[in-house]
Amino acid sequence: MFNNPKLWLASAAATMVGSPMLAQSVDDKINEVFAASTGWFVSLIFSSFPGTSFPWIVGWLVVAATVFTVYYGLVQLRFFSHAIALVKGEYTHPKEPGEVSHFQALSTALSGTVGLGNIAGVAVAVSIGGPGATFWMILAGLLGMASKFAECTLGVKYRNEYADGSVSGGPMYYISKGFAQLGLPGGKALAILFAVFCILGSFGGGNMFQANQAHAAITGVVGDFSGLITGVIFAAVVFAVIAGGIKSIASVTEKVVPFMAVLYVCAALIVILMNFNMIGWAIGQIFAGAFTGLGVAGGVVGALIQGFKRAAFSNEAGVGSAAIAHSAVKTKEPITEGFVSLLEPFIDTVVICTMTALVIIISQQLIVDQTTGNYLLNEAGTAIQTVNGNTGVALTAAAFATGISWFPLVLAVAVVLFAFSTMISWSYYGLKAWTYLFGEGAAKELVFKIIFCLLIIVGASASLGPVIDFSDAAIFAMAVVNIFCMYFLMKIVKDELISYTNRLKSGEIKKAE
């Protein structure tokens, strides 16, 4: 991750001995060196189509989601109720292979996606693209359900099951095995490339960035203090959880994820219901902005870009990360976990992200010209003006505070929980990619876990912008490899779907007694 280990050690030492100026100068040097060597990769992944501001990687994800939606016959709508029945355990048989329940697998995967993007990312999308961005965000979330369905089905179908009952799965396994089964070349090389990107992504976006933002949220409430303290505490708690493997992680996420989701959604509902008379108006603004570009920078296209971008970056449909967690589920029917996983984008994007957007719109944090009724743009004409110039987390906090004065405290708790749950989930994703490359074994797993936890301390203590940018790019580079390979494997999923549907209709597949 670091081009010069000596610089990192010097930074850590400077922080520990209380020399912030030296630490900052070393951090700046790391930023400079790292940016110079990796900037081309970051620019490549997040660059836009020529002549537009639409990131090609977002198009890559949305097009794939649309293709899968059509190819699998709107599977996200046809099997939505069946997915809920599976999560409730209605078709669960205790002796089936795997390590965790459908609900635990769903919670683990959700903990890796429900996070700061639901709080800050939505605020950015709405403040740039206007209320209309919400419509396109919801649409992209609905389409993304089909991508999750396909990749998680493949994850279970091609997973490795070991004698001790443990399993390993994910894109690196279904790419290598699936390509071999079809007689296609390059499967092993593509699987290795995916695994490398996954490890890099777990270290940055799934680790250091989360620790950094959690520390920022805490200092925003209790005042400034050393990030080293936050980092050490987080590292100790995370290590205590991940040391027990997927079962330990799942046992935590099945409690934390529902709690933090319910906490956040209830707070949103309180604000929305306190402004009940404005719900119809807010929905009208969403549709008006989506199709008429009402006062929005870039018009309809601007709203579409921001909405699609937020959905793609929030639910990670097509990235392949969730398939790693879902592969550990207890089932002998791969397609069942595909059904369960399609609930993720719905919960993450359609429910939680929409709640955030509605609160921002209803609280009238976006400034409207009283004469024209249009939203005011900033001086550059590229974004909508907000009350007090708030953006990101600050905008979301201000919106909630209009109904709940003490909400910034709740938001801080939510950010910490989101960050914690994301870290433990991404530790598992990175670990499985690590063991794919270096082999299974307690000693090899321990090496990864120690590195992961040490980087939590680095993330909370330093501001390593280019490192985080690079790891974020690595996460979406996972999607490039994953989706490319899924196009070749999509018929395998279709065959699984047809087989399961026929057996379900005939009564061969029955509910658990």
Most confident option among 48-57, 169-178, 236-245: 169-178
Query: In this structure, what token pair is assigned to residue 241?
Result: 């959880």
Domain chopping of the chain, boundaries: 33-39+56-500
Q: Lowest-confidence range among 19-23, 198-202, 352-356?
A: 19-23
For residue 18, CA distances in Å to 22, 39, 183, 198, 226 come to 9, 31, 59, 34, 9
Whether residue 347 contacts residue 329, with contact meaning beta carbons closer than 8 Å, is answered with no
pTM equals 0.87
Most confident option among 139-148, 209-218, 387-396: 139-148
CATH 1.20.1740.10 assigned to domain 33-39+56-500? The reply is yes
The number of residues making up the chain comes to 513
Residue that has been written with the tokens 């089905």 in this structure: 153
- Confidence label for 170 from pLDDT (cuts 50, 70 and 90): very high
Query: In this structure, what token pair is assigned to residue 344?
Result: 């993720």
- Backbone phi and psi for residue 398, each to the nearest 5 degrees, phi listed first: -65, -40
User: Residues 407-456: pLDDT tens digits?
Assistant: 778 778 888 888 888 888 899 999 999 999 998 888 999 999 999 999 99
